[in-house]
Amino acid sequence: MSHYAEQATMLGKDVPIPHHPDEALLDAVPNPQAGTLFLARFTCPEFTSLCPVTGQPDFGHLVIDYAPDQALVESKSLKLFLTSFRNHGAFHEDCTVNIGKRIVEAVKPLWLRIGGYWYPRGGIPIDVFWQTGPVPEGLWLPDQGVPTYRGRG
């Protein structure tokens, strides 16, 4: 077993999808490049949650950029965490900011930003952006690459 798998609670194991985001754990693994400024990006183009009022599904495209410090987000735990929102009722703003804050709590990055690009609800797309503070000097920060919603035309 690798050094990383020993520190992760889900890596290499059969783990059920958490029923609620509050039950989901985010694993941190040691950053083998600690001390080097770099950006890691997670993209979730098919994120789903539920409208807290109607119970109807909401769909979003999430882009999570972070500059790790001593720890990395273990991707399997992140996938399970994001999937736990599937049956969770919350507004777009709450989902997006909650995800960013939970990652910060778990791995304490140097910097993090999350873009939540949500598909229309009631005819209005809602995009939500949150970051922990100014971008660290010298960090290469590419555009998130998600165009604004244009419908079919």
Active-site residue 143, yes or no?
Answer: no
**Measured distance CA(138)–CA(99) in Å, rounded:** 25
**Catalytically annotated residue among 14, 27, 44, 51:** 51
Phi and psi, residue 105, nearest 5°: -60, -40
Active-site residue 27, yes or no?
Answer: no
**Catalytically annotated residue among 27, 44, 58, 95:** 58
Burial tier of 25 (Cβ tally within 10 Å: 0-12, 13-18, 19+): middle
Phi and psi, residue 63, nearest 5°: -130, 120
- Sheet strand arrangement including 40-50: 40-50, 57-67, 111-118, 127-131
The DSSP symbol for 120 reads: P
Catalytic residue ranges:
51, 58
